[in-house]
């Protein structure tokens, strides 16, 4: 996931060694962009979260856990040329996890409240969501059918 884009100057001040490594890689490449000015490239933070078995239940613990498992790299692209260097997590990573986990918790609470107050409406919304997902590439719905006559 792209966390945010940066200017060349921001990248240079924040991660001078990573920028130096990226520029050296670019100069050694056969790319037609190897002599272009660095500020003409797209600079951004690219993040990914390592998936593990379980997560803590409390919101603050969950945020800290996800932030700890996040790997961030400084990514640079132009045309077909691409390079990335792993860098320490910027403060935006924790802010992003806080925002997304809080929104997820609010949605979960709203669905739980709806399920309790109006089960028919909740069932309709779940069916609508599943029907939208069924049309998505890569989505598989497994249905377990129990045949009581075989028992």
Q: How far apart are CA 83 and CA 9, in angstroms?
A: 17
Q: Where do the structural domains in the chain lie, given as residue ranges?
A: 2-134
* Digit-coded pLDDT (tens) for 76-126: 999 888 899 999 999 999 999 999 999 999 988 988 898 899 989 888 988
Is this prediction's pTM over 0.85?
A: no
Other beta carbons within 10 angstroms of residue 26's beta carbon come to 19
Q: How far apart are CA 34 and CA 144, in angstroms?
A: 56
pLDDT digits (tens, 9 = 90+) for 7-16: 999 999 999 9
Above 60 in pLDDT, residue 5?
yes
8 Å CB contact between 93 and 50 = no
Query: What is residue 74's predicted lDDT score, i.e. its pLDDT?
Result: 94
Strands 81-87 and 42-49: unpaired
Between 139 and 36, the more confident residue is 36
């Amino acid at each position: 996931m792209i966390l945010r884009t940066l200017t060349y100057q921001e990248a240079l001040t924040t991660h001078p060694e990573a920028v130096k490594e990226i520029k050296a890689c670019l100069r050694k490449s056969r790319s037609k962009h190897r002599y272009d000015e660095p500020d003409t490239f797209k600079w951004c933070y690219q993040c990914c979260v390592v998936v593990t078995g379980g997560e803590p239940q409390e919101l603050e613990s969950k945020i800290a856990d996800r932030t700890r498992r996040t790997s961030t790299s400084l990514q640079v692209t132009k045309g077909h040329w691409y390079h990335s260097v792993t860098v320490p997590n910027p403060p935006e990573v924790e802010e992003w996890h806080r925002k997304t986990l809080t929104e997820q918790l609010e949605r979960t609470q709203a669905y739980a409240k709806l399920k309790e107050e109006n089960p028919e409406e909740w069932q309709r919304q779940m069916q609508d969501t599943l029907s939208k997902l069924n049309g998505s590439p890569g989505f598989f719905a497994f249905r377990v059918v129990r045949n009581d006559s075989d028992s």
